[in-house]
């Protein structure tokens, strides 16, 4: 049985991050089912808690709940995914937990502390079904949490919220199910919290500040986060290129999805960051299409909007490619307009610029070019064919939180203009069922923006050239 010092788990040798000092204790990491060697270090989550604590008012407390377990059907649940705010502050990926952060040190159950994490205890009878848990020792030693208790102790813990000047907490989740066999599940933890907070005066409660503070903190990425973001984006780039090489008529949309998600898993990504969008032909004009069942024709364009999630951080990259490997005259015209619009939007991705500047620039290009083609008659008509915004923040959520204030260095946004002309549109029929979206993930810097997903071909000529190459899944003659 192999033993490792804890600091080896969290060292980032490949990227030059300094190793943490070795701990006095040794832990068998297999006991906790921890196999990845590039997870974020405990110091990252500790710093996040410290940054939040600095924003909190004097003599205040903040309370966070883990994400609910989502039921798929009957007695089968979806694979668990932690609430991004909870994960950002703890690194914990287990359900039925509560994090309590105190502004000032307090005494709880005779122990002085500035934070408590209530977690599922280690129970062999449960772990044999749902996997190994960290438990008290794992949470404190691996995640660096100052104080931890079993979630079964939350109700009996001497935690009097009336003593605080402010109690910050997020609105309660609405999709929490009651597990009748577990009296310390999230449903019951909410009930216990409601009971504890009931005596607190209304003006002491605040359900909005945490939303604002976490958006501000999560908007700007640290060097550790950027490493994971680059990893997720690089995996996504490889997947998009392999799809280009493999794509051909009579493939199904779900076969193209399988290629994308095989690369994700084979490269170490835990999940797709969102349901993969592979829409061809008329489906290229549906923004969040995810059925992915159509057989693709040679005359179709395929919009591939996908993103790998790696250790909690997700990419979001879109390319539009011709199923038969060649853009028609009309497809190329629309594609080149979208590409021109995207370039204009990326040029506006500068620290200090308004968050909305990329959208204004991209929309202006599309409006002018569609008027030249006679597809729209006036600028106001642009929203018929380009009905979404150009950018959103990217990070622990695919549509990540942020302030929407002037752009800040080390934040990441998407730039994704599109044109969608469904059948029946009031324009020449030659444009019908042409849907094009081009999306890249852009790192804001103090100088020129860095397009993190620029490794994927983007011009029509580059895409057509790559589609001639032989890839891992190519069956072309």
Q: How do residues 395-422 score in pLDDT, each as one tens digit?
A: 999 999 999 999 999 999 999 999 999 9
For 198, residues 6+ apart whose C-beta sits below 8 A from its C-beta are: none
Per-residue pLDDT, 33: 87
pLDDT category at 20 given cuts 50, 70, 90 is very low
Per-residue pLDDT, 180: 87
* Mean pLDDT, range 47-54, rounded to an integer: 98
Per-residue pLDDT, 1: 32
Domains of the chain: 40-216 (3.40.350.10), 220-466 (3.90.230.10)
| pLDDT, tens digit (0-9, with 9 covering 90-100), for 288-297 | 999 999 999 9
| pLDDT, tens digit (0-9, with 9 covering 90-100), for 309-359 | 999 999 999 999 999 999 999 999 999 999 999 999 999 999 999 999 999
Per-residue pLDDT, 458: 97
How would you label 217-240 residue by residue, b for 16+ Cβ within 10 Å and e otherwise?
bbbbbeebbbbbbbbbbbbbbbbb
- CA-wise closest residue to 410 among 382, 445, 358, 434: 445
Asked whether the predicted pLDDT for residue 3 surpasses 50, the reply is: no
Per-residue pLDDT, 28: 73
pLDDT category at 476 given cuts 50, 70, 90 is low
Asked whether the predicted pLDDT for residue 117 surpasses 80, the reply is: yes
| pLDDT, tens digit (0-9, with 9 covering 90-100), for 305-315 | 999 999 999 99
Asked whether the predicted pLDDT for residue 17 surpasses 70, the reply is: no
Helix (H/G/I), strand (E/B), else coil: 179: coil
| pLDDT, tens digit (0-9, with 9 covering 90-100), for 69-113 | 999 999 999 999 999 999 999 999 999 999 999 999 999 988 999
Per-residue pLDDT, 32: 86
The span from the CA of 226 to the CA of 430, in Å, is 43
Asked whether the predicted pLDDT for residue 466 surpasses 70, the reply is: yes
- CA-wise closest residue to 397 among 95, 175, 81: 81
Residue 313 · residue 232 · CB < 8 Å: yes
Per-residue pLDDT, 18: 33
Asked whether the predicted pLDDT for residue 66 surpasses 60, the reply is: yes
């Amino acid at each position: 049985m192999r033993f490792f010092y804890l600091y080896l788990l969290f060292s980032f040798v490949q990227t030059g991050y300094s190793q943490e000092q070795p701990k006095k204790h040794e832990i068998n990491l297999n006991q906790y089912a921890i196999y990845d060697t590039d997870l974020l270090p405990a110091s990252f989550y500790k710093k996040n808690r410290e940054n939040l604590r600095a924003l909190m008012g004097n003599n205040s407390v903040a309370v966070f709940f883990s994400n609910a377990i989502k039921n798929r059907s009957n007695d089968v649940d979806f694979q668990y995914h932690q609430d991004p705010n909870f994960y950002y502050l703890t690194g914990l990926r287990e359900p039925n937990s509560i994090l309590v952060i105190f502004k000032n040190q307090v005494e709880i159950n005779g122990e002085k502390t500035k934070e408590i994490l209530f977690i599922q205890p280690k129970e062999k009878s449960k772990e044999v079904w749902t996997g190994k848990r960290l438990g008290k020792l794992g949470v404190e030693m691996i995640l660096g949490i100052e104080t931890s208790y079993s979630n079964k102790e939350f109700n009996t813990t001497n935690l009097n919220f009336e003593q605080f000047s402010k109690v910050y907490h997020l609105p309660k989740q609405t999709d929490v199910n009651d597990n009748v066999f577990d009296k310390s599940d999230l449903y019951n933890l909410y009930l216990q919290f409601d009971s504890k907070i009931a005596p607190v005066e209304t003006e002491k409660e605040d359900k909005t500040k945490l939303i604002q503070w976490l958006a501000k903190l999560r908007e700007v990425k640290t060097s550790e986060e950027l490493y994971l973001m680059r990893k997720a984006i690089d995996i996504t780039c490889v997947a998009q290129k392999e799809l280009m090489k493999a794509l051909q008529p009579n493939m199904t949309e779900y076969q193209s999805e399988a290629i994308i998600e095989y690369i994700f898993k084979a490269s170490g990504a835990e999940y797709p960051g969102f349901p993969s969008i592979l829409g061809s032909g008329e489906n290229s004009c549906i923004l969040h299409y995810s059925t992915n069942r159509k057989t693709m024709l040679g005359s179709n364009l395929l919009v591939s909007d996908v993103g790998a999630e790696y250790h909690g951080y997700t990419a979001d990259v879109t390319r539009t490619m011709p199923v038969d490997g060649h853009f028609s005259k009309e497809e190329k015209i629309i594609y080149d307009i979208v590409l021109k619009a995207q370039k204009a939007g990326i040029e506006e991705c500068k620290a200090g610029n308004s968050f909305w500047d990329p959208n204004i620039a991209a929309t202006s290009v599309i409006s002018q070019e569609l008027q030249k083609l006679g597809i729209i008659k006036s600028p106001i008509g642009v929203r018929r064919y380009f009905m979404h915004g150009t950018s959103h923040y990217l990070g622990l959520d695919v549509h990540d939180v942020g302030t929407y204030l002037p752009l800040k260095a080390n934040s990441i946004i998407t730039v994704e203009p599109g044109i969608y002309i469904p059948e029946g549109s009031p324009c020449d029929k030659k444009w019908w069922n042409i849907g094009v979206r081009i999306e890249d993930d852009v790192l804001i810097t103090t100088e020129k923006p860095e397009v993190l997903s620029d490794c994927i071909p983007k011009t029509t000529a580059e895409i057509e050239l790559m589609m001639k190459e032989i890839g891992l899944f190519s069956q072309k003659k």
